[in-house]
Amino acid sequence: MDYAQLMNLDFGRLQAAADALKKAHTDAEKFAETARGKASRVGGGWTGHGTEKPRQALSVQEPQLLQAAEAFRRLSALTTDLRSGLKGYRDRLADYVADMNSRGIVRIDGSGTVTVVDRKRHARPETRAAGLDAQTVRREIDAVIDEANDFDTDMFGRIRGVDAPGAAANFAGGKPAFTPPAGADPTTVRDWWNSLSETDKVDLITSQPDHIGGLDGIPVVDRDRANRLVLDREHREATDLVRGLELEQAKPGADESAVGKQIKAAEKKIAAMRNLYLRLNPEDAPRGERPATGHDLPTYLLKLDTEGRGRAIVALGNPDNSDNVFTYVPGTFARLDKVPNELAKLDRALNHAIKADGDEQTAAILWLGYDAPQNLVTQSPKPDYANAAAGDLSRFAKGLRLTHDTGADFRSTFLGHSYGTTVVGFTARDKGLDADAAIFVGSPGVGVDHASQLRLSPDEVYASRDGFDPIYVARNHFGADPTSPRFGGRTFLSKVPGVTRPGRGHTGYFDANNPALENIGKIVVGDDDITGDRPKPGNGPATTSPAPG
């Protein structure tokens, strides 16, 4: 549920549903009483096979009707509570929006977009101190919406938990006849999702969280709700698995070494999921374990797959209502248990983007939606991993456009590091990448010989390589070096502080004080005043970092 949906909820329909359920409760009780009376009168005092079956049938109906009556009573009460609670969140949000609009510093429109209308007052320190700046206002709005969604999910979970044969399913209207398959076109998914009632959406999220959470074209908030359910279930199942394996290991004659390896693998998965949980719910983190992000944007889980090395897509801030969105694709060695390290890099890049333009809302996404190479010698030189990822990344980029609150009017940038640059490049070349800009750092090549072949404007294709990055020796492995003048894109400065020999240069693009971070932040928000950019082709010599040695 987004801003517009909360503000325009039809509380009359919820009240009508509660009233209908209350009437169903009364009717079911009457039917139960009727069935009891008829059962006692069947046969007019006669006994035998001819009267026993009807009497048994009516006797069975009575408890079923009483069970249904109790279910309808509870459903009516829960629906009333749902209406009251959501109306409270709607009224609270409406009052806040009216107050902020009346002050004349920012304006909040019907979609929840926050726009600065008085830049002079907005720039004053006292405005931010009073919580009247655009970023704080957006956070306050998101906080209310998140609370409303949590309440909504909890209430519908309680509604679905009502124990009556068919009662909850009938109340939910049944499952839609058509559900798009995995990998469906995001436009099809978007149109299908928008055609559903809120009740149908909740039913699908709770009954098919893996499927719904992985469909591009479904809003971020809804995917997050589904994937949190997946995370809870996977963590519970992995924990149960470890307990079972420990019991197995303790049995006489058990292969302790083999079982021990299974336990270790399961515990590694549990640790990875715990890290994800704490990132999603920092308020639950023990003292000293809360991530130092440098910002207070909420985290959303857009995909989770714990099979094999694992996959995850994590958003910092809500892409659906942000002015700038950048998606980071990591390279070799990326996997589920490395997500905290990748998110730490993303935090630093995001903070620089926020610094570059604090008046606009910026969100960042970690896209580990593919199986990354895990060996530099036997896997990284192969194009297979990038080819396999291209379709998924292309659909994801399209889905970002389709679910955005403003109807796709935002700046979308894709940032790849190392083999991740190859994934981004192959996607743009082969499947199309719905993006405004692409950034390549530490690249072994992006699958083309010229920036124009990526089907993006060459002026919005950026690349950088640290002077001590050993990737230099493989810079042409997947096509032309994107930092070379003949590639036709733009370059920016990278320099890992304190590094004077090859090695650390490849992993340090996101290190603090590396000028690459400031340049990435500027590109993300559309500021092309970057350092280390060479003149446009034909206007003079290129200025690129020297090769090591």
Within a 13 Å sphere around the CA of 300, how many CA atoms are in the beta-carbon half?
Answer: 27
Pairing assessment for the beta strands 362-368 and 114-116 based on DSSP bridges: unpaired
Would you state the pLDDT for residue 237?
93
- In terms of Cβ atoms closer than 10 Å to its own Cβ (0-12, 13-18, 19+), residue 407 is exposed
Strand partners, 262: none
With 0-12 / 13-18 / 19 or more C-beta atoms within 10 angstroms meaning exposed / middle / buried, residue 323 is buried
Between β-strands 106-108 and 114-116, what pairing exists: parallel, antiparallel or unpaired?
antiparallel
What is the DSSP code (8-state) at residue 545?
P
Q: Is the dihedral of CA 383, 389, 395, 397 positive or negative?
A: negative
| Angle value at C-alpha 141, between 17 and 287, nearest 5 degrees | 105
CB-based contact 336:310 (threshold 8 Å): yes
Out of 3-17, 84-98, 469-483, least confident range: 3-17
Average of pLDDT values for 233-241? 93
- The answer to whether the CB of 202 falls within 8 A of the CB of 280 is no
Nearest to 135 by CA among 373, 324, 268, 329: 324
Cα–Cα dist 241/26, whole Å: 46
Query: What is residue 44's predicted lDDT score, i.e. its pLDDT?
Result: 44
Examine the pLDDT at 547 and tell me if it is beyond 50: no
Taking the CB of residue 310, how many other CB atoms lie within 10 A of it?
A: 22
pLDDT tens readout for residues 401-453: 999 987 668 999 999 999 999 999 999 999 999 999 999 999 999 999 999 99
pLDDT value at residue 150: 87
Q: What is the DSSP letter of 237?
A: H
Identify the pLDDT of residue 36: 56
pLDDT at 66 over 70: no
pLDDT at 28 over 80: no
Average pLDDT over the chain, rounded to whole? 86
pLDDT at 169 over 50: no
The alpha helices in 131-255, defined as continuous H runs, are 134-160, 167-172, 186-195, 198-207, 209-213, 220-250
The region of weakest confidence among 5-19, 67-81, 145-159 is 67-81
Residue 441 has phi, psi (to 5 degrees) of -125, 135
Confirm whether pTM is higher than 0.85.
no
Sign of the four-CA dihedral 235, 237, 238, 244: positive
Checking if the pLDDT of 39 tops 60, the result is no
How confident is the model over 79-97, as a mean pLDDT?
90
> When comparing pLDDT for 280 and 408, which is higher?
280
Span 483-540, pLDDT tens digits:
999 999 999 999 887 777 766 789 899 999 899 999 999 999 999 899 886 644 433 2
Residue type, 356: A
Distance of CA 518 to the CA centre of its chain: 25
Amino acid in position 127: T
Q: Are strands 362-368 and 311-316 parallel, antiparallel or unpaired?
A: antiparallel
Instruction: Tell me what percent of the residues of the chain surpass a pLDDT of 70.
Output: 86
Is 469 in contact with 498 (CB distance < 8 Å)? no
Calpha distance 342→335 (Å, rounded) = 10
Q: Using an 8 Å Cβ cutoff, are 213 and 313 in contact?
A: no
State yes or no: pLDDT of 460 exceeds 80: yes
Range among 126-135, 163-172, 465-474 rated most confident: 465-474
pLDDT bin (cut points 50, 70, 90) of residue 544 is: very low
529 Cβ neighbours under 8 A, 6+ residues apart? 522
Looking at the DSSP assignment, which residues form a beta bridge with residue 462?
A: 439, 490
pLDDT at residue 220 above 90? yes
The pLDDT assigned to 527 comes to 94
Structure letter (DSSP) for residue 312? E
CA distances from 167 to 12, 81, 161, 164, 299 (A): 22, 18, 10, 5, 35
* Residue 541 neighbours by CB distance under 10 Å: 8
- Tell me what pLDDT residue 11 has: 86
Reported as a pLDDT band with limits 50, 70 and 90, residue 541 is very low
Q: How confident is the model at residue 347 (pLDDT cuts 50, 70, 90)?
A: very high
Strand pairing partners for 311?
305
Residues of the chain with pLDDT > 90, as a percent, come to 57
Rounded mean pLDDT, 1-7: 86
Region 229-248: mean pLDDT is: 93
pLDDT of residue 263: 94
Q: Which residues of 73-101 are buried (b: 16+ CB within 10 A; e: fewer)?
A: bbbbebbbebbebbeebbeebeeebeebe
Looking at residue 27, what is its pLDDT?
Answer: 76
Q: What string of DSSP letters covers 14-34? A: HHHHHHHHHHHHHHHHHHHHH
Average pLDDT for 240-250? 91
Q: Could you report the per-residue pLDDT of 472-496, keeping only the tens digit for each?
A: 999 999 999 999 999 999 999 998 8
Q: What is the DSSP letter of 362?
A: E
pLDDT of the residue at 326: 98
Beta-carbon contacts of 515 under 8 Å, excluding residues fewer than 6 positions away, are 492, 493, 494, 495, 531, 532
